[in-house]
Amino acid sequence: MRIAFFGDVVGKAGRTVLADELAGLRKRLSLDFVIVNAENAAGGFGITAKTAEELFDAGADVLTLGNHSFDQSEALGLVERDSRILRPCNYPEGTAPGRGSGLYDLPDGRRVLVMNVLLRLFMESLDDPFRRVSEELDSAPLGAVADAIVVDAHGEATSEKSALGVYCDGRASLVVGTHTHIPTADARILPGGTGYQTDAGMCGDYDSVIGMDKEEPVSRFVTHMRSSRFSAASGPATACGTFLETDDSTGLARRIEPIRIGGVLAGHEPSVS
């Protein structure tokens, strides 16, 4: 199976690069399934029905979220109604609306389990991400129930993301980080067969401070005062993500490569024959 995962879409610039590029990519990479982290899709803060629709129209099959899941109040209803949008799976039971994971059917009958999890180092503490992910992995074992499993590890610290990758090694097809908005150059297959990349990077304008217009963030670091609101940078965006090819007999990773298309970053597109 061929899967692409794209990191945090930031504002209109991020949505636009996917609208422009995703259809072509789906063809060129023969993608079976596309997952997009959309926690910053709406002007940099959360998701709305309209921005979700844009991303589905662009070619996303499933959207994941993170610590900004509910920045926009309409997301509360959205995640209830649309089972293709996932908020972190480790909210305490009975609290957040919506779902933290989903098992999705491909047209050909193969099934992909996707989950979104919020890590805890330097972040708000939801339930134990390691245990919750383990329970989710057990609910649809790779190669038995799920043909592929993708874990979106939304977190700050490289140590925690890396440990989660190791912890899931052999039980998931892909553990990929989000939240830092900067792609890492460590995509690889772990010894047990799980594809891993510490952060997918954002889909957004990198001529910015992690997707936001540069002036205000720099000013806040220097002065510790607010001058204005943060606004999503609007220059040409880079679509950053991860390409994964799994072995359909096991669900494990056969190949992993970063994707970087457009904008100011050095581009990279896997070449698929």
Q: Which is nearer to a second copy, 227 or 249 (CB)?
A: 227
136 to 195, contacts with a second copy by CB under 8 A?
156-160, 162-164, 166-167, 180-188, 190-191
Active site residue 68: yes
Distance CA 234, CA 211 (A): 9
Alpha-carbon dihedral of residues 125, 131, 134, 140, nearest 10 degrees?
Answer: -80
The single-letter DSSP state of residue 173 is: S
Distance CA 184, CA 265 (A): 12
Q: By CB under 8 A, is residue 210 in contact with a second copy? A: yes
Task: Using CB under 5 A, pick the residue from 40, 64, 69, 184 that binds Fe ion.
Answer: 40
Task: Using CB under 5 A, pick the residue from 59, 66, 155, 270 that binds Fe ion.
Answer: 66
Shortest Cβ distance from residue 40 to Fe ion (Å)? 5
Tokens of 143: 């190669």
Pairing of strands 85-86, 62-64: parallel
Cβ neighbours of 198 (radius 10 Å): 22
19, interface contact from Fe ion, a second copy, none, CB < 5-8 Å by kind: none
Q: What is the DSSP string of 190-216?
A: -TTS-EEES----BB-SSSBTTB-SHH
Instruction: Answer for the pair 238, 17: CB distance below 8 angstroms, yes or no.
Output: yes
Task: Using CB under 8 A, pick the residue from 107, 266, 271, 273 that binds a second copy.
Answer: 266
Q: Which is nearer to Fe ion, 178 or 194 (CB)?
A: 178
Q: By CB under 8 A, is residue 3 in contact with a second copy? A: no
Q: Which is nearer to a second copy, 103 or 130 (CB)?
A: 130
Q: Which is nearer to a second copy, 49 or 123 (CB)?
A: 123
User: From the annotation, which residues make up the binding site for Fe cation?
Assistant: 8, 39-40, 67, 154, 179, 181
